[in-house]
Amino acid sequence: MPKKMHITLKVNGKEEEFLAEPRELLIYTLRERLNITGPHIGCETSHCGACTVTIDGKSVKSCTMFAVQAEGAEITTIEGIGGPDDLHPLQTAFKEHHGLQCGYCTPGMITRATKLLEEIPNPTEEEIRFGMAGNLCRCTGYQNIVKSIQAAAAEMSAAKEAAE
Ligand code: FES
Ligand code: FES
């Protein structure tokens, strides 16, 4: 039996502390240990992006990382981005512009898109498609995902201007 390791993480602002085997993947830590089920498991081979979370400011596919590698990190999942009573503009835009169908890819899509809009607040269609290339959707054909991100970008820029 491999020795368990002591791990501390901050997930959506909450400190977490536990013992885990070195082989435990971060996606299972989130979903099964911490009951944070927004990040989904689509492929477990780093292709689909359904498991995307933000770790210390970077988009990461949480099936590609061991929990022990995230020791001391700050992690944000879709649950930390917005909820039913306080939707993030991206969540509102995906809802209004039909950026989802089955919704399986959506937590990863929106989590990745929050970082994309931090990196490029007003992206072109090409920049959106390039920036979202690591996130796959089996349902939407991507057109409405692009539209949703464009709409959120416009909304967020307008809100920023209004606040200045
Ligand atoms: S489940 Fe992680 S990339 Fe598909
Ligand atoms: S909405 Fe179904 S996989 Fe994207």
Nearest atom, ligand 1, residue 49 CA: 3
- Domain count for the chain, please give it: 2
- Has residue 1 got a pLDDT over 80? no
Q: Which residue lies with its CA nearest to atom 3 of ligand 1?
A: 46
Which amino acid is located at 5 in the chain? M
Last residue of a domain, one of 81, 109, 131: 81
25 lines ligand 1 (CB under 6 A): no
Q: β-strands 58-61, 14-20: how paired?
A: unpaired
Q: According to the model, what pLDDT value does residue 87 have?
A: 98
Tell me the CATH number at 12.
Answer: 3.10.20.30
Confidence of residue 164 (pLDDT cuts 50, 70, 90): confident
Q: Mutual orientation of helices 89-96 and 106-119 as an angle, nearest 10°?
A: 120
Q: In this structure, are 114 and 139 located in the same domain? A: yes
Ligand 1 site, residue 88, Cβ cutoff 6 A: no
Which residue range(s) make up the domain with 144?
A: 89-163
Of 47, 81, 115, the one marking the end of a domain is 81
Q: Say if ligand 1 is within 6 A of residue 63 CB.
A: yes
Q: What is the pLDDT of residues 113-161, one digit of tens each?
A: 999 999 999 999 999 999 999 999 999 889 999 999 999 999 999 999 9
Among residues 81, 115, 145, which one ends one of the domains? 81
Q: How many CB atoms lie within 10 A of CB 86?
A: 8
Among the atoms of ligand 1, which is closest to the Cα of residue 43? Answer: 4
Q: Measured from the CA of 44, which atom of ligand 1 is nearest? A: 1
Residue 110 CA to ligand 2 centre (angstroms) = 12
**Residues written for the chain:** 164
Does residue 44 have its Cβ closer than 6 Å to ligand 1? yes
Q: How distant, in Å, are the alpha carbons of 117, 120, 148 from that of 153?
A: 7, 9, 9
Residues 33-91 pLDDT 10s? 999 999 999 999 999 999 999 999 999 999 999 999 999 999 999 999 999 999 999 99
Mean pLDDT within 88-114 = 98
